[in-house]
Structure 1
Amino acid sequence: MPATATEERAEALRMIRDSAAVVVPPDGGLGRVRGLRFTLPGIDPAVWRSMGAMGWIGLRLPEEAGGAGLGMAEACALLEELGRALVPEPLVAGALSARLLAAGGDTALLPALLAGESLVLTAWQQSADSLEAPGDREGARLFIPMAAAAQAFLLPVREGGALALYAVEGVRPETRRTQDGGHVGSLLPDLAAARRVAPNVGEAMALALDEAALGTAAYLLGLMERCFAMTLDYLRQRQQFGKPLGSFQALQHRAADLKIQLVLTRASVEGAAAELDAGATGDARRALVSRAKARAAEAAMRVTREAVQLHGAIGYTDEYDIGLFLRKAMVIANAFGSAALHRARYMRCASHPGAA
């Protein structure tokens, strides 16, 4: 019998998950991640090129723009797998830049970015915990992820009632370390040295930020699921008083609570991705994304913190991998909006989800 549309979509999602094996070790080892911590540029350029070769950077772009033309469900499935392996390469941020360059019709930076031959990052954020680009001409641009690895930066700038896009190359941002061993950068826009890419990318910017927030939620989902699985393995193997730790009812109850968090987060992320692929726009899209991101951010912090506690004293040592998941969650839970920001945005948008 011919495959149904549902079966075909499930197979496509399975294939995109399997493709993550290009950058994820078969045994799930975190040696590469550990080797890149607290170094600059903090990523492996060869891995970034592999991501480009696999079409991941332009996964959401239409084929006529050089992308793969796939949906948010595929993007989230891929990012889950990267979250399981704590992959440090900034795929979410790179895809955001690709979205803006494609919207602006750029032919100078986009091809190399999509191929993974360069990294272009968008310097849009000017204050902590935000999901809008103010676009001040002179305001410092902050919290640029893995900024030392970028060859170029995009600068959204308010011009009249539009959000213009500029590109600047060859600048060195200031960087500071983050808890997970990565870094963020900041820079002051110098429009005299920048090239104007497009006169108005306002709609593309709003969509790109929503997709980035949902993609980050998917990364957090993969991260916490791997962290939870490692914790269950530990509870089954570790003995106390002649019994596995997992046999104690109090610990079983804690594990069950964490499993509920995972199930609810998956439902929110997958539901939002499906609705975006079905054409959700405006406040409906924003509400869906915010619900998923708020839940993922809170659940990731709870799951990773309790995982460290359930591992006992060994969980607090840097040599033991479980702590890497908590550190990563601490850094990216607030990326593209904290849980508090998204709860507030959900309340505003869910009251009239049909608005454009």
Structure 2
Amino acid sequence: MSAAEQDDRAESIRMIRDSAAALAPPGGDLKRIRDLRFQDPGFDAGLFRQMGEMGWIGLRVPEALGGAGLGLGEMCALAEELGGALVPEPLIAASLSAQLLAAAGRHGALPVLLAGEVLVLTAWQERPDTLEAPGTPDAPRRFLPMASGADFFLVPVREGDRLALYELPAARCVPKVERTQDGGNLGSIVPNLVEGTKLSDDIGPMLADGLDEAALVTAAYLLGGMERAFGMTLDYLRTRQQFGRIIGTFQALQHRAANLNMQLALTRASIEAAAATLDAGAIGDARRAAVSRAKARAAEASLLVQRECIQLHGGIGYTDDYDVGLYLRKAMVMANQYGSATLHRRRFMATSPEVEE
């Protein structure tokens, strides 16, 4: 990439971050997030529509199909900003569905999804902690984020050696919903293909790529939450006094904060490297290894950083009224989405050329 192209890319990413600030101000009030907790559908449909109007749902969809046609660098930058604001709207899941609809060649639902007028969720997961979509026709599909607000489900179904894609209206396939630690919800459905419409005979390769991208974007969302919680913690260390001194001057706490800062830097480097690798066109094992390295680090580091931030706040950090605890709750829910740290470490070991036999 030439210097001019690098400058253009940096400007594109900067503009994406600026656009995110309009809906998710950095360091903003979290009252909206608190008000949406443990409610149905768990997110603001009006704000989801605004995300569509700003082109976020179709960020990875080609321009010819109504999307923005941007790269993973831009998508990860957006997710990072949203993670810092704890945005509960299911943008990552909606973006996956948008890419599948675009790839399927049936675009009826795509325009309304890109506009944020409906929520379409992809019901691919049959068991915990996997990135594989078996497509068992009658198997329950689980762990659908914000499923109580879905209008349609996309269901991959194994037909011979291919993975077909069906669309089911949520009204004919009502999800069973369970609350999550952060106040959102996850749903399960049992697909009734008689009620569905077949969109594609083979969506397998696109789904595999889409799940990799969703894992990487989830890592970026976790990074945004880590950074915001760490910033809150530094502010606390700089103002809280004990024994007549600002506690941030205590060497032991400085060492702990320095370790957290290192975790943030390593996570950012891993995510940015993975986004650049995918945007450069990596395929196969190189693609999977880059994603897994980033997601494993983000999943593990997010829980470490968030727990340390709670402890560095002392007793107030454990209260639900104090905002730093919201970031730990969110990390507990999202760290395992699109694969846990354990799964991705295992996949990295199996796919990375850096690992010697």
Tell me the distance in 2 between the aligned counterparts of 1:50 and 1:216. Answer: 21
- Asked if 1:288 is matched to 2:299, the reply is no
1:292 Cα shift? 0.1
Determine if contact 1:220/1:297 at 8 Å carries over to the other structure. Answer: yes
Q: TM-score, normalised by structure 1?
A: 0.97
CA displacement at 1:19 relative to structure 2? 0.3
Q: Distance in 2 between matches of 1:129 and 1:52?
A: 29
Corresponding residue of 2:88: 88
Aligned with 1:4: secondary structure?
helix
Greater shift, 312-321 or 20-29, is seen at 20-29
User: Structure 1: which 5+ runs fail to align?
Assistant: none
The question of whether the paired residues in 1 share the 8 Å contact of 2:26 and 2:85 is answered with no
What's the offset of the Cα at 1:25?
3.6
C-alpha displacement at 1:26, in angstroms?
6.0
Report deviation, 1:288.
0.1
Amino acid at match of 1:39: Q
What do residues 267-292 of structure 1 show as CA deviations (whole Å, max 9, x unaligned)? 00000001111111111000000000
Structure 2 matches for 1:67-216, cutoff 5 A?
Answer: 67-169=67-169, 170=171, 171-216=173-218
Tell me how far apart the structure 1 counterparts of residues 65 and 219 of structure 2 sit (CA, whole Å).
Answer: 26
> 1:242 is matched by which residue type in structure 2?
G
- TM-superposed deviation, 1:5: 2.1
Query: For structure 1, which segment, 333-342 or 171-180, has the greater mean C-alpha deviation from structure 2 after superposition?
Result: 171-180
Contact 1:131-1:209 at 8 Å conserved across structures: yes
Deviations along 1:12-32, whole A, 9 cap, x unmatched? 111100100232146511111
2:319 alignment partner in structure 1: 317
**Match of residue 22 from structure 1:** 22
The CA deviation at 1:222 is 0.5
Q: CA deviation at 1:10?
A: 1.2
2 CA distance for matches of 1:25 and 1:69? 25
Identity level (%)? 63
Q: 1:251 maps to which residue?
A: 253
1:260 alignment partner in structure 2: 262
Q: TM-score, structure 2 length as denominator?
A: 0.97
Question: CA separation in 1, counterparts of 2:247 and 2:162?
Answer: 59
Q: CA deviation at 1:109?
A: 1.0
Shift of 1:6: 1.9
Aligned to 2:301: 299
Cα distance in 2 for partners of 1:65, 1:268 equals 31
Dislocated runs of 4+, deviation >4 Å? none
Contact 1:283 1:352 in 2 (8 A): no
SS in structure 1 at match of 2:262: helix
How large is the Cα RMSD of the aligned pairs? 1.1
1:229 corresponding residue in structure 2:
231
Whether the 8 Å contact between 1:22 and 1:50 is mirrored in structure 2 is: no
Maintained 8 Å contact 1:59/1:69: yes
Deviation string, structure 1 residues 6-63 (Cα, Å, up to 9, x no partner): 2221111111001002321465111110000000001101100000001100101111
Q: Partners of 1:101 and 1:26 in 2: how far apart?
A: 32
Equivalent pair of 1:97/1:120 in contact (CA under 8 Å) = yes
- Per-residue deviation, residues 156-210 of structure 1 (Å, max 9, x unmatched): 0000000000000023200000000001000101001111011000110011000
Structure 2: runs of 5+ lacking an equivalent: none
Distance (Å, rounded) in 1 between the aligned partners of 2:26 and 2:299: 27
> What is the number of equivalent residue pairs in this alignment?
351
Distance (whole Å) between structure 2 residues aligned to residue 277 and residue 89 of structure 1: 25
Contact 2:226 2:305 in 1 (8 A): yes
Per the alignment, in what secondary structure is the counterpart of residue 154 of structure 2? strand
CA distance in 2, matches of 1:59, 1:338: 25
* Partners of 1:161 and 1:179 in 2: CA distance: 38
Mapped to 2, the partners of 1:25 and 1:221 lie a distance apart of 16
Partner residue in 1 for 2:222: 220
State the SS of the aligned residue for 1:225.
Answer: helix
Change (3 A) 1:352 1:165: farther
Aligned to 1:31: 31
> Counterpart in 1 of 2:50?
50
In 2: Cα distance, 1:160 partner to 1:352 partner: 35
Q: Contact 2:27/2:228 (CA < 8 Å) preserved in 1?
A: no
